[in-house]
């Protein structure tokens, strides 16, 4: 990315090379590739330095738009302070002035992210159990009993899924939730949330 700096202020940002007019002079798009940094800077075009100090994982945070600043001959694109996504549903409350028509107090204003992670765990557990569901149905309808090894493994999947959902429920904030999913350097790597067992 490049920026046009005029009177020590960033006036335009270019995300890709393009033809442009500065003053009364027209420049082709290939100047971005062919000219040196000093040649570009002589006409006010600076390559942008990205500062990701405040950029956070968009899975858990809402990042601000980039702001552009010119100082000491450098244009920097930086982010403001990110806002954590709500863990639990934010509900419309009495006195909310921006409540849409047809919405009631107690309706969901902004969904929390916690439930989505629990839903994913339960869906994964369901996917693991599904191939052997027919055995359970057969047994319930008076057919052959489910082998004990399969019953044990199916119970382990349900137990682990419940434990994982409890860990997610107990996460105090988005950073604690995110930490559950971070793998360490072990071989094989493991994460605090653990993994669902398989039913062979």
Residue 154 DSSP one-character state: H
- If residue 169 lies in a helix (H) or strand (E), which one and from where to where? helix 148-170
Mean pLDDT score across all residues of the chain: 95
Q: What are the tens digits of pLDDT across the range 106-124?
A: 998 988 999 999 999 999 9
d(CA 66, CA 76): 9
The residue extents of the domains of the chain are 2-84, 112-179
d(CA 134, CA 18): 61
Instruction: Summarize the confidence of residues 64-74 as an average pLDDT.
Output: 96
- Residue 85: predicted pLDDT: 96
Cis peptide before 182 (omega within 30 of 0): no
Whether residue 43 is predicted with pLDDT greater than 90 in this model: the reply is: yes
- pTM of the model as a whole: 0.79
Q: What are the tens digits of pLDDT across the range 119-145?
A: 999 999 999 999 999 999 999 998 899
């Amino acid at each position: 990315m490049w920026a046009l700096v005029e009177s020590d202020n960033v006036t335009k940002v270019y995300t890709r090379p393009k033809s442009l007019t500065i003053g009364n002079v027209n420049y082709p798009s290939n100047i971005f590739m062919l000219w040196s940094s000093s040649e570009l800077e002589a006409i006010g075009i600076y390559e942008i330095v990205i500062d990701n100090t405040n950029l956070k994982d968009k899975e858990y945070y809402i990042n601000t738009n980039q702001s552009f600043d010119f100082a000491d001959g450098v244009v920097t694109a930086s982010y403001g302070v990110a806002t954590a996504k709500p863990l639990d549903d934010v509900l419309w409350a009495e006195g909310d002035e921006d409540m849409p028509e047809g919405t009631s107090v107690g309706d969901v204003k902004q969904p929390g992210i916690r439930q989505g992670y629990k839903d994913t765990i339960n869906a994964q557990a369901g996917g693991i159990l599904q191939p052997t569901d027919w055995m359970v149905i057969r047994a319930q309808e008076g057919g052959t009993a489910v082998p004990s090894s399969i019953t044990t493994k199916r119970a382990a999947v349900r137990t682990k899924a419940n434990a994982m959902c409890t860990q997610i429920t107990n996460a105090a904030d988005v950073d604690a939730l995110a930490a559950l999913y971070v793998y360490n350097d072990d071989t094989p790597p493991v994460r605090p949330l653990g993994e669902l067992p398989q039913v062979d």
